[in-house]
Amino acid sequence: MRKYYTRIKQIAGNVITLKASDVGYEELAIVEGAWGKSLGQVIRLSNDEVVLQVFSGTRGVSTSDRVSFLGSSMRFSFSQNLFGRIFSGGGEPRDKRSSLTENLIEVGGPAVNPAIRLMPNSMISTNIPMIDVFNTLVEGQKLPIFSIPGEPYNELLARIALQAEADVIILGGMGLKYDEYLYFKNRLEEGGAMSRSIMFIHTASDPVVECLLTPDIALTVAENFAVSGKKVLVLLTDMTNFSNAMKEIAITMEQIPSNRGYPGDLYTQLASRYEKAVVFENGGSVTLMAVTTMPGDDVTHPVPDNTGYITEGQFYLKGGWIDPFGSLSRLKQAVNGKTRDDHRAIMDGCIQLYSKCRESREKRAMGFEMSPWDIKLLKYGEAFEEKIMKLSVNISLFGALDLCWKILANFFEPRETGIRSALCEKYWQKI
């Protein structure tokens, strides 16, 4: 039967050390004491010494607490019964319903063979013009939202989740404030999406390192749905909290940090999660959107920096809108050539003019004289921000393209837009 160990040798940070035998690397353990129960995972084996990372933290753990090993690494139940359920960041029911035990699957398994991946090629509509028109989101893409704390990034995620036509929505919350959790729950319920959603919620009041499990469980479930042909949208918020939990463990393990205290494998750790985004031949896919808050609005901070090197572009949320310059969907070329013939032209044209408008604003701020052209640009910029850029705008792609033409026509002559004349002839009159 299960063997219990009751002699913990060392407790430091969120890590405990004990003597035990026949334990597998990354095997799960349960640590039980007067304060409760926690999952632990083997992170180092040396002779008969086992080092465990304790997901609920070690506060109150006694050297005589009981440790037992489960004989395998983390597993999670995978079935249709997951729909509508809410779990903790560590996979325990949070909705007062029973735990699931059928069809246990390995969490955080091996990578997909690159040779069987397909190239992403269908658009995901969000009805947000700054995404649909200018930086189209593509099924199977991995894209972070870079944001300073305080921007409405969770609102943006919830909106995309409701709008996207995904078969399955999986939310992984890491260090969420309780009201943010309720907000997501209410939005999904109101939007009638709860029955195709699964939530893994680690809140700010839960033990910090427990959120290390959250993306892995969420993505494993997602991957399995995708293998069975489902289109899955995974939302992770906030990956900076996840990275900070990793930093805590690394420091306890006395790893030499590479950059501002973060471990040298931060890139690899983040990449192995983000790379779960995939399109399979059977039509199944995982699309991944993740919030990365940037401490001090600093993109060179190790978390956004490493993320940028991993993902296929990024949305910069700045001053309440998706900044058209820092944002980039690297996969947009794969889809925006086949939506409508004016899509790419509008995408380039409107942004170039808006960028010129910003230059004019700078000139104005420095006290240089405004030419009639500058004044046109300034007026255009205001209209563009109000009608297109604002996050509250909610229109379809074609609606947004039409609206862009209308705004252009309001302020410019066709030749001033830099858009090919054939397109101007086709769309200028129409609107």
Ligand X SMILES: Nc1ncnc2c1ncn2[C@@H]1O[C@H](COP(=O)(O)OP(=O)(O)OP(=O)(O)O)[C@@H](O)[C@H]1O
**Smallest distance from ligand X to CB 309, Å:** 5
Contact 209, 53 (CB under 8 A): yes
Residues 98-130 as b/e (b if ≥16 CB within 10 A, e otherwise) read eebeeeeeebbeeebeeeeeeebeebbbbbbbb
Q: CB of residue 26 vs other proteins: minimum separation in angstroms?
A: 4
State which residue has the least CB distance to ligand X: 330
Which distant-in-sequence residues (6+ apart) come within 8 Å of 136 by Cβ? 123, 124, 329, 331, 332, 335, 336, 339
Q: Write the single-letter amino acid at 331.
A: L
Check if the beta carbon of residue 354 is closer than 8 Å to that of residue 137: no
| Number of residues binding to ligand X, judged by CB under 6 A | 2
- Contact by Cβ (8 Å): 198, 93: no
Please state the closest distance from residue 333 (CB atom) to ligand X, in A: 7
**Does the footprint of ligand X cover residue 344 (CB under 6 A)?**
no
Contacts of 17 (CB under 8 A, 6+ apart): 8, 9, 10, 11, 49, 50, 51, 52
319 binds, among ligand X, other proteins, none (CB under 5 to 8 A by kind): none
Q: Which does 24 bind (CB under 5 to 8 A by kind): ligand X, other proteins, none?
A: other proteins
Distance CA 168, CA 231 (A): 6
List phi, psi (to 5°) of 117. Answer: -70, 150
Q: CB 270 → ligand X: shortest distance, Å?
A: 12
Q: Encoding tokens for residue 126?
A: 């969000």
Give min distance, CB of 142 to ligand X, in A. 12
* Burial of 342 from C-beta contacts in 10 A (0-12 / 13-18 / 19+): buried
State the nearest-atom distance from the C-beta of 359 to ligand X, in Å. Answer: 22
- Answer with the entry of other proteins, ligand X, none that 259 interacts with (C-beta below 5 to 8 A by kind): other proteins
Measured from the CB atom, the residue of 94 and 273 that comes closer to ligand X is 273
Q: Compute the distance between CA of residue 363 and CA of residue 131 in angstroms, rounded to an integer.
A: 29
Report, in Å, the least distance between residue 221 CB and other proteins.
15
Among 66, 117, 318, 330, binds ligand X (CB under 6 A): 330
**Smaller CB separation from other proteins, 130 or 194:** 130
Q: Which is nearer to ligand X, 265 or 348 (CB)?
A: 348
* Rounded least distance, CB 306 to other proteins, Å: 8
Of residues 47 and 429, the one with the C-beta less far from other proteins: 47
Name the site residues for other proteins (rule: CB under 8 A). Answer: 21-27, 43-48, 73, 109-120, 140, 227, 255-259, 264-265, 267-268, 271-272, 275-276, 280, 300, 302, 305-306, 308-310, 312-314, 325, 328, 330, 333, 366, 368
Confirm or reject binding of residue 325 to ligand X (CB under 6 A). no
Widest distance between CA atoms in the chain? 85
36 binds, among other proteins, ligand X, none (CB under 5 to 8 A by kind): none
Contact between 379 and ligand X by CB under 6 A: the answer reads no
Interaction of residue 178 with ligand X, rule CB under 6 A: no
Q: Which parts of 288-317 interact with ligand X (CB under 6 A)?
A: 309
* Spatial CB neighbours of 372, under 8 Å, sequence gap ≥ 6: none
AA letter at 206: D
Where on the chain is the footprint of ligand X (CB under 6 A)? 309, 330
